[in-house]
Amino acid sequence: MHEANGAPEIHSNRLCFMLFRLGIIAIIASTLLPTTAAAQSDYRVPWLKGIQAITVSVVIHIDGSRVSGASPCHLERAVLERDSAEVLHGAGLNAIALVDKFAQQQALQAELNDAIRALREAPRGTLIPGLQEQAERRTREANFFASQPFLFVHVGVATLDGGLCAAGIDTDLRAFAREKPVINYNDEQQRAPLSIWGATPLALATPAAELQRAVAERLNRQITEFVNAWRTANGQ
């Protein structure tokens, strides 16, 4: 009787174990599929059609802070942004690192400030050649910068014992909307980012000396994943 009564239970346990194994195999298989196949089945891919210009923005949090402090787990943000922008540029996109975009805007603003200062110090009626053109060019640059989407990269780093660092990398394409998207949270409307597309999140653990290389290598996978999706959307 005990064996008869226990048979269904044994069969159920075996079935659950088999389903569990199948689930694990499915997860592993999904991570091994080519990126292009995933891109073709991703409903967000068509939203990438027509995108020509992108700004790469990398945000790094180390132990929950934007300031690395005394942690040996240090990352060069500008290097990650520029390397990613270079990959995108090589794929045919007008891409620029956020750090370089800010530098361009600051240089243009400095030129405009110098021209305005010279105009104020000059005798009344003096004309400064190119002043209006500089102002118009800066306005065009600002509008272009504000309208293009950002490939936003968030890198979270944790300092571990023994000189090790753990990092998680999440990359998504964010765009601006004329009306800020909001969500209802605790009966209040809160602004929410407009995420168009996201890469597969990646994680790693490595010695501090290898952190920059390891993060760059995995970020390059996510950038490549975006490029493949963008090419699919644009028939390339």
Residue 205, domain member (yes or no): yes
From CA 213, how far away is CA 51, in angstroms rounded?
29
Domain assignment present for 45: yes
Q: How many domains does the chain have?
A: 1
* pLDDT confidence of residue 68: 66
Spatial neighbors of 60 by CB under 8 A, at least 6 apart, are 66, 68, 75, 77, 155, 157
Which is it for strands 188-191 and 182-185: parallel, antiparallel or unpaired?
antiparallel
**pLDDT at residue number 79:** 97
Q: What is the pLDDT along the chain (236 residues), one digit of tens a residue?
A: 444 444 444 444 444 444 444 444 343 344 444 444 444 467 778 888 889 999 999 999 999 887 766 789 999 999 999 999 999 999 999 999 999 988 887 887 787 777 777 777 777 777 767 777 777 777 777 777 667 889 999 999 999 999 999 999 999 998 776 667 777 877 887 777 678 899 999 999 999 999 999 999 999 999 999 999 999 999 88
φ and ψ at residue 90, rounded to 5 degrees: -65, -25
Query: Which of 208, 230, 216, 227 shows the shortest CA–CA distance to 58?
Result: 216
The answer as to whether 7 is a domain residue is no
SS3 142: helix
By the 8 A CB rule, do 153 and 58 touch? Answer: yes
Domain extent at residue 164: 33-233
* pLDDT of amino acid 16: 44
* Contact between residue 76 and residue 215 where contact means Cβ atoms under 8 Å apart: no
Is residue 131 assigned to a domain?
yes
What whole-number distance in Å separates Cα of residue 173 and Cα of residue 138?
A: 25
Question: Taking the model in full, what pTM does it have?
Answer: 0.71
For residue 6, being part of any structural domain is answered with no
Q: Is 218 among the domain residues? A: yes
22 located within any domain: no
Residue 8 lies in a domain: no
pLDDT of residue 140: 77
